[in-house]
Amino acid sequence: MALTGAGISVPSGIPDFRTPGTGLWENVDPMEVAHIDAFHADPARFWSFYRPRFAELRSKAPNRAHAALAELERRGLIQAVITQNIDRLHRAAGSKRVIEVHGSIETSSCTSCEASFSMASLDGLFGDDGVAECSACCGKVKPDVVLFGEFLPEAAMEEATALCEAADLVICVGSSLEVYPVAGLPSAALNRGARLAIITQGLTPYDPDATVKLEGDVIEELEAVLAELPASSASQPSL
Ligand code: ZN
């Protein structure tokens, strides 16, 4: 299994949340714009923050660290990627089984009738007030990303937990592993005897439990790992 966070998308030009100078929350209080209550109370303000952010995310391309994880899946060496990122770059890089536990910018949904809208059709839903309105029922349309104050998608978390419990190894990339419930996934794996490899700059609460901790650039570290592994799981020597 691989478990990824904001750090894997930094080389794609997507700032992580709290890096001084570039972090998304440097100049804005997340509770004022990214909370579900803020969305309902002032959707125009919500969208004035998110609309340009989504437009920027849509312009980003996956980097070689995303490609390395897609390649590990192609070789049969990892089963899936669990990600906290909403940028859909794992899929763009070719990963097939991606569990987006914080949702994705790929779709948005009506909060009244649950109609679903693609990223491409979202732009056409905005009125002069800067709020995205459902074309079927005029309800408020919300991106399918998990906001503060919302629960994580239950099915995605169940799938992620089951995969971690069955894994031999969980490779955690670019996540500080501090935000629950995702931060509980490495312990679910450890409790079932899996090993942890952490590729993240800075400390994580799981560093003492990790078999391997790498602090370098995510692209360099993942490509170095890839270079040492067999081209397909079928050619792995039997031990
Ligand atoms: Zn609707």
Strand 81-83 and strand 2-4: pairing?
A: parallel
DSSP letter (8 states) at residue 148: B
The residue assigned the tokens 């078999």 is 211
Whether pTM > 0.85 for this model: the answer is yes
State the Cα–Cα distance between residues 149 and 116, nearest whole angstrom. Answer: 21
Residue 39 forms part of a structural domain:
no
Find how far residue 207's CA is from the centre of its chain: 21
The strand ranges marked E within 78-139 are 81-83, 98-100, 103-110, 116-118
Task: Please give the distance, rounded to the nearest whole angstrom, from the Cα atom of residue 116 to the centre of ligand 1.
Answer: 9
| Residue 140 domain flag | no
Domain contains 204: yes
125 occurs within a structural domain: no
Residue 172 has pLDDT above 50, yes or no: yes
Q: Which residues surround ligand 1, an ion (CB under 5 A)?
A: 110, 112-113, 115, 134, 136-137, 139
Residue 52 Cα to chain centre, angstroms:
19
Give the type of residue at 58.
R
108 within some domain: no
Flag whether 167 is in a domain: yes
pLDDT tens per residue, range 46-79: 999 899 888 889 999 999 999 999 999 999 999 9
The answer to the question of residue 208 being in a domain is yes
Which position among 40, 66, 90, 102 bears the catalytic label? 102
Residue 145 has pLDDT above 70, yes or no: yes
Average pLDDT over residues 97-115: 96
pLDDT for res 24: 59
Q: What is the number of domains present in the chain?
A: 1
Instruction: Give 185-220 pLDDT, tens digit per residue.
Output: 999 999 999 999 999 999 999 999 999 999 999 999
Between residues 207 and 29, which one has the greater pLDDT?
A: 207
Domain extent, residue 229, equals 2-19+63-102+151-233
> 84 CA to middle of ligand 1, Å?
27
CATH code at 176?
A: 3.40.50.1220
Active site residue 102: yes
CA distances from 60 to 54, 55, 144, 222 (A): 10, 9, 19, 20
pLDDT (average), residues 149-162: 93
Alpha-carbon distance values, 136 to 86, 105, 156 (Å): 26, 21, 28
Percent of the chain at pLDDT above 90? Answer: 80
> 150 C-alpha vs ligand 1 centroid, how far in Å?
20
Q: Tokens representing 46?
A: 């919500």
What digits encode the pLDDT tens for the residues 218-230? Answer: 999 999 999 998 8
In a domain, 120, yes or no: no
Q: What's the gap in Å between 109 CA and the centre of ligand 1? A: 8
What confidence score (pLDDT) does residue 238 get?
45
